Chain A
């Protein structure tokens, strides 16, 4: 496999809570996280809300720095990207798409405006004359009709807006797209269309994706590799198929068991797992303990060791 575009090595992120008149506390959001993103591949980062998945994306986009550990972009530590032009270059290569397609577009501007600005700011076109054809190209790429360009965000559906967001990331020449729950606010019936588009962008344009989600079902659909995260630790990682068919860590098993299975009615579930609430509580407590060691259980399947919580 080629070299990773983005690589996280044992990244720790601590936040300070409180302050002012209240007592200051330190909260460890990431407890030593490592993963790699490759060209033309998708890594799904799966976990419940508050487990630190979005923090990873924010560290990669340099919203705030890591407390310790390193983040490498093509082998170079991103802490050393400091000058304005270097930052701009980095940000054009690493783009983000957010969960809320309504909040990430300016309601007072047309779609054409949203796509023209990044082209100009990041000097992706050599002259003004090129802009219309480039816009046309971008809008075709994300499978929207050309008249979308003249429309305002409120005239588009959630799925169409998310496509505009993807087009915007492409406009600046992104090599990596960090997609933070890009489909969770969309209706089930249009989710698949957006996922298929991401799939195409990956295959045809060689874009590397970090797909952040709490939904294992869509992760399974789009990602070659998955990392399951809980309380700031990656507890199990590797080949998506291996993780789903042969989960090792109790938290991964819990997560998979919770995905609704249309062929298994609750009547049967209640019989087979009557104490689900207590059991899941115990698994959470066990999985929250920070551990160092891990085990390789398959060609590309790793699991963090876990111990019983006291």
Chain B
């Protein structure tokens, strides 16, 4: 890894702990201090960065997946495509000469096309979502991944959005919640992961799951505790016992909750936080380059 390229993912197992709050405030702090920075909203099912950051739209790309189309004139009803498909996306009833693709179950793997010896399967495209890029100033931009409603997997849209940021020096990835495919697709690209939690039993339980996942992926990471003041000390004790770096603490204040609720950024409303987010960035950089 070189100093010209760094991707930081902001993630958490539990939803609503403040991922978007941290990533948008960190982005604003860095872009105001003259860094060339890109923020990618990877929570494609429920993208929220746009509530906090607005810019001039410079591109709008639809993301497609391939869907097989079976030409019933060429199809010999051999059933090989049905046999190859691991996702039950092909319904095959040989007794009644019936074969059909279930689009919603297709994972775009290409196995059925490979299986067909009669050239009966071609591929068409189906839209999954949109990746938009907004210019904030000459050097910074915001990229949003947004799935269409009813699409079950956001992964292809997330991957495309992150690709749009390829080659940029400093990229923040606002991750989807959870620890399954959409989260993995996001943090897989990251050089460093910031896990945001809250000092509650739910926060701790989901933090443990996230830590287990990022350790398995062998990624460096640190933790931010948000809403300090509610709940208990169990998260602190656990971090200490496991030697996990605590990067930052954000207090629970109705004032902060209100700023967030209105789609405003804390660092714009309270300048003392600018320094805290600069500090966060320095700790992450040092954490990465010390290794």
Is chain B found bound to chain A in the same assembly?
Answer: no
